[in-house]
Structure 1
Amino acid sequence: MSEQRTTPKTVMTSGVIYTLLICYLVITLFPMLWLFMTSLKPSGEVFDAPFAPPAVDALALDNFSRAWTAGSFGDYFFNSVLVTACTVTGVVFIGAMAAYALARFAFPGSRALLFYFLGGLMIPLQLAVVPLFFQLKAMGLLSSRVGLVLVYIGVGLPFAIFILTGFFRSLPKSLHEAALLDGCTEFGAFTRVMLPLARPGLITVAIFSFIGTWNEYFLAFMFLSGEGSEALRTLPLGLANVTIVSQYKVDWGMVFAGLVIIVIPTLIIYLLLQRHLTKGVTLGAVKG
């Protein structure tokens, strides 16, 4: 077996690739580091020395306590956790059932139904706001967590069905048949056999659903803007409300502390589940 020879061309190519990767790493990490550093500065230092690290002996840790209490980020955090948890659960479970039915059972109109669901990926949210507003109003769900969760689930289902349909199609049919022969019902075969095998896809859908719901502002602003909905605001809405809490004089220390409170859960979820993300998207999209 001949050894691969190192030539000046390959060395130069590798150098260019590593340089680009290092630049990308810096571009990605610098805003995050700057955000965390700024959240530890007093408001007066945010503009006086925007890129200087905070003084170790003068860390403004009270930015976080003021954001949590005076800025009501504690209440907003609870609302975001509740809405996001319900949304992720609904999107994953309903999306898995719909994708399983479309992937495993042939019935008239199944292909058209699949394309109908996938059509939701091409519809801008702005076009759906007005009919959704009147629909929720007619159902008495406007300015409520239930209404917002239902909207989020509807928005997240097309992507979930797209990913999970590919996963269920890639699973051997013999496993489904063996489960039925062993006495499982269709629902039992789905929950006990097929669903655990689609775990990478389920995790992928859960990650995207979590990130999209946790950081979502537009729909929450539109459907939680009624009278008495102040206590139902999620973190993005609460962050936008900081100027009002600060009596129209923006407390930048509180703002950046609030941003850190929003960002940390997303980072934790991504770091814990990142190895499933690429695998899930690749398998679901390619085999779908």
Structure 2
Amino acid sequence: MVAAGHPRFDNWARAWAEASIGRYLFNTVLVVGGALLLTMLFGALVAYCLARYPFPGNRIVYYTLVAGMLFPVFLALVPLFFVVDQLGMLGTYHGLILVYTAYALPFTVFFLHAFFRTLPTAVAEAAFLDGCSHAAVFFRIMLPMARPGLVSVGIFNFLGLWNQYLLPLVLNPDPDRYVLAQGLAFLAVSQGYRSDWSGLFAGLVIAILPVLVAYILFQRQIRDGLTAGAVK
């Protein structure tokens, strides 16, 4: 008999293989990675245009996006379900990626809009005088200058999307495409009959590790990005 408190590494292997934590982790990395890439690209483009280019309706577009942060996601679940279903994307990776992107976009635009407004205009004007196009100025000059803000909002989005449970619960009914939050909830319910609590807690640790590692590695970048956006 193994004494209480003795480490059992076979719990990790059982959670990874038998409890399908490995498949759930792969699904989560695929969905969150794709959504994060699209969110950062589109969010940076929209925030830059709204911050640096005055045009009719600029403020209307900006405040409409900001208002999306105040809209409870619970109220959108039913119409969102029917929209995704009619588009044939219910229970698919790309459907969940697009919904995640739309969910994270308002906060990304709100965060980066204030950051892009603090960047010096003289650098962009000098680039235009040298013959750079608007796209070249954005991707080659302004985007690298906004790196602290991009890292900060990227980490916030990663943490929020990684722990997302409500959206995949409604829009992802396929067990083969469960993300970690869904998979762990399913395991927690099933443990009432199997009593494999050690495997469940090993799966919880596996789910927590990526978030913990991301926070440890990028905590300084998050602090520097928030400080830079506040004092410039």
Work out whether the TM-score is over 0.5: yes
2:191/2:197 contact within 8 Å kept: no
Specify the SS of the correspondent of 2:69. Answer: helix
1:231 counterpart = 2:176: yes
> Number of matched residues?
231
Counterpart in the other structure of 1:157 = 105
Counterpart in the other structure of 2:223 = 278
Consecutive aligned runs of 4 or more in structure 1 exceeding 6 Å deviation: none
Distance 1:147 1:266, change over 3 A: same
1:20-99 to 2 correspondences below 5 Å: 54-55=5-6, 59-99=7-47
Alignment partners' CA distance in 2, 1:284 and 1:82 = 30
Equivalent pairs: percent with the same residue?
A: 44
1:217-263 Cα deviation digits (max 9, x unpaired) = 111111012xxx11101111111121466572331111110111011
1:258 counterpart = 2:203: yes
Alignment partners' CA distance in 1, 2:218 and 2:193 = 40
Superposition TM-score, scaled by structure 1 size: 0.76
Query: Among residues 59, 67, 75, which one is paired with 1:127 in the alignment?
Result: 75
Specify the SS of the correspondent of 2:193. Answer: coil
1:85-106 Cα deviation digits (max 9, x unpaired) = 1111111111000000000000
Superposition TM-score, scaled by structure 2 size: 0.94
Alignment partners' CA distance in 2, 1:96 and 1:285 = 18
1:152/1:213 contact within 8 Å kept: yes
Alignment partners' CA distance in 2, 1:208 and 1:84 = 12
User: Max radius of gyration: which structure?
Assistant: 1
Residue 279 of structure 1: how far off its partner (Å) = 2.9
Unaligned runs of at least 5 residues, structure 2: none
Query: Among residues 52, 56, 64, which one is paired with 1:116 in the alignment?
Result: 64
1:157-179 Cα deviation digits (max 9, x unpaired) = 11111110111100111111111
What CA RMSD, in Å, does the superposition of the two structures yield over aligned residues? Answer: 1.8
Alignment partners' CA distance in 2, 1:285 and 1:135 = 39
1:243/1:250 contact within 8 Å kept: no
Alignment partners' CA distance in 1, 2:58 and 2:230 = 19
Specify the SS of the correspondent of 2:8. Answer: coil
Counterpart residue identity of residue 271, structure 1: I
1:163/1:285 contact within 8 Å kept: no
Alignment partners' CA distance in 2, 1:218 and 1:133 = 12
Query: Among residues 196, 209, 220, which one is paired with 2:144 in the alignment?
Result: 196
Specify the SS of the correspondent of 1:216. Answer: coil
